[in-house]
Chains A and B, each alone.
Chain A
């Protein structure tokens, strides 16, 4: 049992070790300002990972989230720059597009019964392709008034951090305290049994993919606002980062295990901590890739161990 407790809370150990290391080796690392800066940076990935967490808790996967973020945001930006639509309306439409793209995934997976990995692999390429077509792969600058929103803060706390926490808490509550959330867990735990018990796996799968699409678009918007312009690389590779965040956070790829709080936040924090710290000490940029690779490997191994421990 102790073994399981260590594995489940492994991310705390990594966070502690990283904080200790960087506090010693980097001058301005250990400061409140840096903490808020890190929380600001990780807001978009946390929101996207929330959608991923929901899908993974159900025992499935969605690797199109990066592309959904990109396409939905692209449409929003084009509405603003080309058609001069009101910003809020445009981003609202983006979020709606995110839901539709999620529904498209849902359609292939639930109705056509295509494997989720294959489906979202296909939509990952397709959605990004459509978006690049719409923008001609060019960079689109955002009007200044919007760029300001991206870095708005109340005191030291950034607005997007607050938005992140709202979504984090909401998803946490939905997962733990609603019938829907418990059914998501049941399907991930053992879908055959969940079906025998009369849980509507199809309906819940559809809803989770729509949610994933929605959250991907929200995360995409947050990311866009931070960067200030739309480039063809927005969201690229985000899906894999999201999976890594979710697994490091203790949510099992096998489904049915893990908590959104602290899981998703802690998982994102681990990676952001490492990136931020390496930045502070001026490390080789490839060091980041190597270290995150090791962290992901250890997390996946721990995940596999978790599954074996239970057979008592």
Chain B
């Protein structure tokens, strides 16, 4: 058990990304034997700062010091050499390989120059697993473990190199309550071993429960630091959001309260539990929740991309309610996926082709030949309502900017005239103007008695356009905000 303390200091760290100053002269300090929480809204810079420490990103300026001597971290190996370990939010487990192999994948103990020491790997894995309170064997294949167990393996991998500084990035978002408790035990034990522990989290209750100190980041700066027990929840939220902003609503007037879609008891084993909700005609219903809460999975299940275990869906068609199967519902839904470059567009095809795909049956004759003139006129008609910046309809979509590409995806779906739109993170990666355009399109869509279901992690966007908001957590809808949606309310719900 080593006695000597380590003081970790990050001084004046600056990091610029194209169009975004992510870290502005950021300062951060943490010491051994303490759990130091790092908080902040999306984009505040907490992950960026820690990624600089972990060697995944290189800073533009600044210093990193351990016990007053400067260290140079250019890549994850350098970080490991400085005894820094990073447990990422997204697991990097090799699924077909065993627990022991995953733990030692970066540095296999060797028996001699050629062969790895399997016995030692097994023994050391057992020791690490015991420390983590895990009861699965080192020989288990990782793909058969639960997310929580896999996360323990990932922590095991971090511990295998005997680090002094450990960073946990949103470690509990995909864990069950039992797994969370186990994790807290592990982290507390590491604290007793005098490690420096940095804990990034959205969940205020966890932060209050296990952290000794906390730092809050906003807009790339560390705005508040101190002992956790000296803070109130409100102080923290205020520091995270800055002054309360007057948000300019681009919302439209209230809709007719006619139900368009009614979902009852939707269940998908291990993914969605007891989903019940309604959408009204002309309504924009928002869905928010953290990574792993099941939002995208909900969309996929509703339109039959993943098979559900139970549940009833009813759709209002010409003023009558019909029970409908997910695969059939798909015919009435325009689904704008999360990942437009991979799932939404054919990048090397023209704007026209990307749009007309949704109404080929109308413009093709009995033999399947497409009437090009008709195609062009329909496409132009669809585009005319949406301001897409392009030179020529025949240019390939990969030549368009992100925002314009997103508009092309929208245009395609609008052209197919569905009853419902499922938008999954539609403003991701877009600049401010493009974001506003996309949000405007969404509010235009619902003018014709269509409804929009929108998933977003950009709470500002949700506040701007949603009539109601559903909060999801671990596959369930835990709450609904139907009046005066504010960022405070959202954060409160999410962190509960």
Chain A: CB-nearest residue to B107: A179
Size bin of chain B's contact surface = 20 to 34
Q: Is the CB of A189 within 8 A of B76?
A: no
- The reply to whether the CB of A196 lies closer than 8 angstroms to some CB of chain B is yes
Measured between alpha carbons, how far is A178 from B108 in the docked complex, in Å? 9
Q: Is the CB of B95 within 8 A of A310?
A: yes
Q: Is the CB of A188 within 8 A of B96?
A: yes
Q: Is the CB of A197 within 8 A of B95?
A: no
- The reply to whether the CB of B116 lies closer than 8 angstroms to some CB of chain A is yes
| Contact status of A182 and B95, CB under 8 A, knowing A177-B118, A198-B77 | no
- The reply to whether the CB of A312 lies closer than 8 angstroms to some CB of chain B is yes
* Interface residues in B89-135 (C-beta closer than 8 Å to A): 92-97, 101, 105-106, 108, 110, 114-116, 118
Chain B: CB-nearest residue to A188: B96
A-B contact count (CB 8 A): 54
Chain B: CB-nearest residue to A256: B96
B246, chain A: closest CB distance, angstroms:
42
Size bin of chain A's contact surface = 20 to 34
Q: Is the CB of B143 within 8 A of A186?
A: no
- The reply to whether the CB of A257 lies closer than 8 angstroms to some CB of chain B is yes
- Give the most central of B96, B114, B116, B146: most A CB within 10 Å: B96
* Interface residues in B65-105 (C-beta closer than 8 Å to A): 75-77, 92-97, 101, 105
| Contact status of A197 and B96, CB under 8 A, knowing A310-B144, A312-B144 | no
Measured between alpha carbons, how far is A2 from B94 in the docked complex, in Å? 22
Select B116's contact among A179, A194, A196, A197, beta carbons within 8 Å: A179
Measured between alpha carbons, how far is A193 from B270 in the docked complex, in Å? 24
Q: Is the CB of B114 within 8 A of A196?
A: no
Chain B: CB-nearest residue to A257: B96
Query: Which residues of B sit under 8 angstroms from A197, Cβ to Cβ?
Result: 92, 105-106
Query: Which residues of B sit under 8 angstroms from A113, Cβ to Cβ?
Result: none
Select A186's contact among B97, B115, B118, B270, beta carbons within 8 Å: B97
| Contact status of A193 and B97, CB under 8 A, knowing A178-B115, A310-B144 | no
Q: Is the CB of B97 within 8 A of A178?
A: no
Apart from the given pairs A189-B97, A199-B105, 19 other A-B contacts in the complex at a CB distance below 8 Å = A177-B115, A178-B115, A182-B101, A182-B108, A185-B94, A186-B94, A186-B105, A188-B96, A193-B92, A193-B93, A194-B94, A196-B92, A197-B106, A198-B77, A256-B95, A256-B96, A257-B96, A310-B95, A312-B146
12 contacts between A and B (CB under 8 A): A1-B144, A173-B115, A177-B115, A177-B116, A178-B114, A179-B108, A179-B116, A182-B105, A189-B96, A193-B92, A194-B94, A312-B144
